Amino acid sequence: MPQRSILALVLGSNLLFAGLASAAPLEPLRVANQKSGIKLLLQAAGELTDVPYTLDFSEFPAAAPLGEALNAGAVDVGGLGDAPYVFALGAGAPLKVISITHADGRFSTSILVPKDSPLHSAADLKGKRIVTNRGSIGHFLVIKALRDVGLRTSDVTFVNLLPTDARSALESGNADAWSTWDPYTTIAITQNGARVLRRGDDLLTNNLYLAATAQAIEAKRPQLEDFVKRIERAYRWANGHPREYAQAQAKVTGLPLEVHLTSASNTDFQRVDITDAVIANLQETADIYREEGVLSRPVDVSNGFDKSFNAARAQGAASTPSQASR
């Protein structure tokens, strides 16, 4: 898009937003968090200043309960991996993806084993116990990794636990492997010496979906359009400021700075437009979940996206993080 057209879109959107804001107070936007992720990112990037509406954050330990909250209408918007999003849609949640960010990282979603484990490949998982959270991206990685070596999910035993309990299960020997995502991968590797058995880079998209309820899209569109712009700017800030981002994370989690710095320095966040190809890829995920019996019925994901928010994300990309905090 020509620079002049982008500038016109930005100015027009800002004028419309200002007009709506001055006409009547905007309702609060209720945001679901995982491990303080979105809130921490926005705060560290300076994107929680001068927000013309209230942001109410709720904390969730994993994607599954977050999806349930979205399904119940208890929150307006939240971040989910692509596999958990399919699970939420399968539960009948009236949701639509309004923003997608790809995380290209050294310690992204992976299957981990203890450092002295005799397991060295996905083929070695046959007959073993794998801890993960049902319907999570970790669960989906196991399915894909087993298929990749000609195994089935019936060849392993799943231990379904949230990440906070899964780490202990691996350390205590109650599980042979743990399929999880960052920052849990980084924590297990740097603090417990866990070893990566199978990375998911070639099996997963590693996309983070920001999903909103249909009701929020209808009633709070100005807030959501502003919010996705802030998310876009914040991720670009994180790419350029890994140490500052890691320091902000360490203050919240209490983990050593080195844990977060290792992750932040090796992760690049990239904006992904909502396209037919992205939707088709998620449909493949839904079909696999159905084949595996994770979903009780077929799920058509095509209605779970709102391409109109691509324009708002582009406007966020056209502005700088420093502009957002003034």
The residue assigned the tokens 């926005």 is: 42
Q: Both 269 and 308 in a single domain?
A: yes
Prediction pTM value: 0.81
At residue 102's C-alpha, the angle toward residues 307 and 249, to 5°, is 120
Q: Both 86 and 195 in a single domain?
A: no
* Averaged pLDDT, 109-133: 96
Q: Both 91 and 217 in a single domain?
A: yes
The band of 13, judged by pLDDT with boundaries at 50, 70 and 90, is low
pLDDT reported for residue 21: 47
The enclosing domain of 80 has a CATH number of 3.40.190.10
Q: Both 170 and 247 in a single domain?
A: no
Q: Which of 148, 180, 199 is the last residue of a domain?
A: 199
Q: Which of 199, 228, 246 is the last residue of a domain?
A: 199
Q: From residue 126, how far is each of 37, 62, 112, 129, 214 by CA, in Å?
A: 34, 27, 15, 9, 42
Number of domains in the chain: 2
Q: Which of 170, 199, 228 is the last residue of a domain?
A: 199
Tokens representing residue 90 in the block:
């399968």
Tell me the C-alpha distance between 190 and 179, whole Å: 16
Tell me the C-alpha distance between 185 and 262, whole Å: 11
pLDDT reported for residue 210: 96
Q: Both 259 and 180 in a single domain?
A: no
- Tens of pLDDT along 54-111? 999 999 888 888 989 999 999 999 998 888 899 889 888 889 999 999 988 766 789 9
The band of 23, judged by pLDDT with boundaries at 50, 70 and 90, is low
Residue 269, strand partner residues: 103
Q: Residue 48: which H helix or E strand, with range?
A: none
- Tens of pLDDT along 182-200? 878 888 888 889 999 999 9
Tell me the C-alpha distance between 228 and 234, whole Å: 10
CB 133 within 8 A of CB 166: yes
257 pLDDT more than 60: yes
Domain that residue 284 falls in: 3-103+206-324
Residues 6+ positions from 228 with CB-CB distance below 8 Å: 98, 99, 210, 309, 312, 313, 316
Mean pLDDT (the chain, rounded): 88
